[in-house]
Each structure stands twice: as C-alpha cells, then as structure tokens.
Amino acid sequence: MLVQRRPRSKPNVQIVPLIDVIFFILVFFMLFTTFRTHPAGLNLELPKSVTSDRQAPTQVVVSISADGRMFLGDRQISSANLKTEVGKTIKNRPDLFVVIKADKNTKYDHVVRVIDDIRQVGGYRFGLAVHPRNPAGN
C-alpha cells in the first residue's frame, strides 16, 4: 500500500500584527516620558490638565510668575543669566529635561521667551508643568 504524504507547508510569519504592537508600545513610551512633571517650589497658580502625569524631580525647573519674572529653582534670574546657567548644564548633560512652570495668568509671550532662551543654548527637551485635574472638570 502506497501512502502519500501531504506536502509540508512552509511556516509563515505574520508581520502586520507585530508592527501594530510595536507601534503602540512606541507611542505609549513617547507619550508617558514627555508629559511627566511634578510641580513644586514657588507659589504659582498653574493651569489644570486632565492628561497630566506625575514625574520624578527634574534636573532644571524654570518658573515664570504672573508678571513675567523668571526663577531658576527658587532664585530670580534674568534672561541672559538663564541662558548662561542652562547652557552650562546642557554642555554637561545634553539630554537635560527642563520643566517650565508658568502661572496661569502669565502672558504667552513670557513662556515663549523662556522656551526660546532654552532652545538658543541647545535645549530641546522641555515640558510645561500643570496641576492635575479630574476628568469632571474640577
């Protein structure tokens, strides 16, 4: 009696589901590593956000009061001194993350000026601090 064998089918790997999984993991890590801040320090009334997330203490915190005064840590600083000090820190740590804490009544111009100062000295990683707000809007 002659037994016929079925031809072996070659195993195939489905790559599309794997790409989807990797994409979602990438998006997850991108979102949750850029929006983490832990506001502390000066008495600022930060805006509230539902999508905020706590972050471990950062390396540099720049605060902006409602009248536009800038603080590096807890001491008041000018725009030129901000550039100098942040520039020195960025030379030692090029991947430095700078948190910008602006009072909710601060003019947009002051926030843009600080972002511009940080970018001029080579800083590219920064985030805006907010207070967490529950989804109901309180």
What pLDDT score does 138 carry? 54
* Rounded Cα–Cα distance for residues 78 and 20 (Å): 47
Question: Can you tell me whether residue 23 is helix, strand or coil?
Answer: helix
What pLDDT score does 42 carry? 46
Please say whether the beta carbons of 132 and 38 come within 8 A: no
Report the DSSP pairing between strands 60-64 and 97-102.
parallel
* Number of Cβ atoms within 10 Å of the Cβ of 51: 10
What pLDDT score does 50 carry? 62
What pLDDT score does 74 carry? 82
What pLDDT score does 46 carry? 56
pTM: 0.55
> Which stretches in the chain have pLDDT values below 50?
38-42, 57
What pLDDT score does 39 carry? 44
Tokens read off for 122: 């080579």
Domains and CATH numbers, the chain: 31-132 (3.30.420.270)
Can you name the residues that pair with 102 across neighbouring β-strands?
Answer: 64
Q: Apex CA 133: angle with CA 103 and CA 100, to 5°?
A: 35
What pLDDT score does 34 carry? 64
